Structure 1
């Protein structure tokens, strides 16, 4: 019979370990990791993935604290804004760490970003 096909995408358990705990995926999924971290839509994916560990905190703020709903919703909104700020601020470092864990170059850029940097270098050479 045929051999079992290689997984190109992580299953739910692997994805949760990768997204929430920062675990390494099998080497057979390096292409998926590369696309996830530097491919199209990597920034929104990173932000959404980084919000998952905060969900229990947001739910706890809303459910466990006494007070009016608007007050509890304001606490959740403040926590969400703070989490988004730090997620965006440390996105490059987090991406580099994930790339290194999976055996990829830490400074790996998307094809679009590489082309943009090359255009900037060419413009600089032409002007100076």
Structure 2
């Protein structure tokens, strides 16, 4: 359970950094508390997308992973971020990613920051 909380906090922090650095990734809300709640919900949604959808996509694109020596991961991460943005709109969360190249940059930032936070945060079950 603790590992789940740590991963969610890392995802929320990584999403917050991407929102801060990339102008076309937006999180809107009435108040700071509402924005934080939305960010946590989007982090949970992003984690769910990465848990359920990403392994299937990686399996289906396995030849591309081999051919590109793993660089297709940037595209897969961008697609997962775009899917999260679409699902956030479906669930009426105020999170939006504008365009594919914005998603590529956001996915890269989220991957790096999430990795760094997962290294820094404790990893106990």
For normalisation by structure 1, the TM-score amounts to 0.34
Q: Please state which structure has a larger fraction of its residues in strand.
A: 2
